[in-house]
Structure 1
Amino acid sequence: MYTLLSGLYKYIVQKEEYYIIILGLDNAGKTTFLEKVKSIFLGIPGLTPEKIAPTVGLNVGKIEYENAKINFWDLGGQKELQKLWKEYYNECHGIAFIVDSVDKERIEECKRTFENIISDDSIEGVPVLMLANKQDSPNALKVEEIKEIFTQIAMYIGARDSTVLPISALTGKGVKEAVEWLILRMKRNKENRPPVYKS
């Protein structure tokens, strides 16, 4: 009887736990995005842009959404740090890839980096959300332009859920909707990449 009650208790209090990795080139706005996510979903003031330093290693954020725990891993985007990204692929349930829509000079480098990520077999089937960041700038490439640039590597995306959404990590515009999009897709992808269960 104790085993049955214990099992039932665990079932009731256990929450699904998901891991999202935030990737992109350095200065794309990954940490600003994470700070805005925490601000929106936790109701706490995030770091102001002038206090955000380049990520060396990893920044972590956690929110709860519809009885699930969502963990964010913001990984440094400098070239020498990108080789460490693979260490997180097997444990992630979703990928948020941040594109600096203003940095047109590095858009080809950004495309190659994205291709390296999605062509890795260890994340096959994992939902991928590309975020066209800095849309608050008048010089930003529009979503349609970014889609056109990245269309040549669409074959690597395969049957997984993926989309490109406009955001401003600075103002928060589009951030909530982007996170909700990714959470819904991760939950739909449970068979392919089951969540972690913790009490």
Structure 2
Amino acid sequence: MYHLISGFYAEWTKKARYNVLIVGLSGVGKSCAIEKIKSIYLKRPPLPPTKIAPTVGQNVFDLALPKLHLHFWDLGGSPSVRTLWAKYYEESHAVVWVVDARDFVGLTDTASDNGKGKGKLVDRDAGSDAAERREESWRILADLLVHPSLEGQPILILANKCDACSSDPDMALGEAERKALTSKIQRWFHQKLAQIGDENTGTSTNHVKESKLPSNIFADDEGDGGDLGTSAQRPMHGFPSSTRDYDWDVIATSAIDGTGMHDAIDWLSIRVQTLNKH
């Protein structure tokens, strides 16, 4: 009887496990971000970035949270490894796409020319290494999004290395500056999605549907609440295979000082559980 009861209890208290893909170009700090998450949640000192080798195949990490387990697959970003990414799509529940936030600093808002609100973002650094990396990152992400196994999955874009994006190299990135950078990157990706919709189906993605979700599910996570109360469910229309809606967002992060890491884990945890209920 004891074993029967203990078995029922173990099954009842068992936490769900969700697989999260972490992908992006080489050198954007995917492995460093995982190492920082480990140090924050396991409460141990992180490895110095110089000691973290680039991921050649995959880097696996299980994060036990109060209500669930997040199983991370950090996949290498080199062209040869990218051909293997699709093998993981079928069993994934969410995708984290990592970019280098420094590659987006050169974007200019045309509203700054006339002083009237937010205009269109212009690549005034066109032809630079940063602009080429932005475009390469977008092309690969766009290809990833049309894969049938990823339809409807939450997509979180981590704008990593935001600590190196301060307008004053002698000062840390301030909260207002971080939010402005995040907003700029969100709008850049939104413009890219709108272009796909216009070119392929004639529909625009300028409509943003708001869905209310809990802001923070972890009572012991302090000081990093972010703006998670409202999730922008931005329709990604116009892909060749179908018309799709993805719940996606951008969070600025730093694998050096931990900025945004709690926000990222909270966002993923809420979305994978919400998706699983539908």
| TM beyond 0.5 | yes
Aligned counterpart, 2:249: 163
1:146 lines up with 2:185 in the alignment? yes
Higher Cα Rg: structure 1 or 2? 2
Taking structure 1 as the reference length, the TM-score comes to 0.87
Question: Structure 2: any 5+ residue segments left out of the alignment?
Answer: 104-129, 168-179, 194-235
- Judged with a 3 Å threshold, the aligned counterparts in structure 2 of structure 1 residues 119 and 139 are, in CA distance, closer, same or farther, namely farther
In 2, Cα distance between equivalents of 1:136 and 1:2: 54
For 1:137, give the aligned amino acid.
A
In the alignment, is the contact (CA less than 8 A) between 2:32 and 2:49 conserved in 1?
yes
Q: When the two structures are aligned, how many residues end up with a matched partner?
A: 192
Q: CA deviation at 1:85?
A: 0.7
Aligned counterpart, 1:8: 8
Q: 1:175 aligns with which of 250, 261, 264?
A: 261
For 2:68, give the aligned amino acid.
A
Q: CA deviation at 1:18?
A: 1.0
In the alignment, is the contact (CA less than 8 A) between 1:102 and 1:139 conserved in 2?
no
Aligned counterpart, 1:197: none
Q: Identity, % of aligned pairs? A: 38
Match of 1:97, SS state, is strand
Question: Structure 1: any 5+ residue segments left out of the alignment?
Answer: 193-199
Match of 1:46, SS state, is coil
For 2:71, give the aligned amino acid.
N
Within a 5 Å distance, the mapping from 1:59-138 to structure 2 comes to 59-103=59-103, 104=130, 105-138=132-165
Tell me: higher relative CO, structure 1 or 2? Use CA pairs within 8 A at least 6 residues apart: 1
Task: Report Cα offsets for 1:10-58 as digits up to 9, x if no partner.
Answer: 4224221111110100001100110011111111222210001111001
In the alignment, is the contact (CA less than 8 A) between 1:60 and 1:72 conserved in 2?
yes
More displaced stretch, 9-18 vs 93-102? 9-18
Task: Report Cα offsets for 1:40-77 as digits up to 9, x if no partner.
Answer: 11112222100011110011111111231111110000
In 2, Cα distance between equivalents of 1:168 and 1:43: 17
Q: Give 4+ residue runs of structure 1 displaced > 3 Å after superposition.
A: 1-7
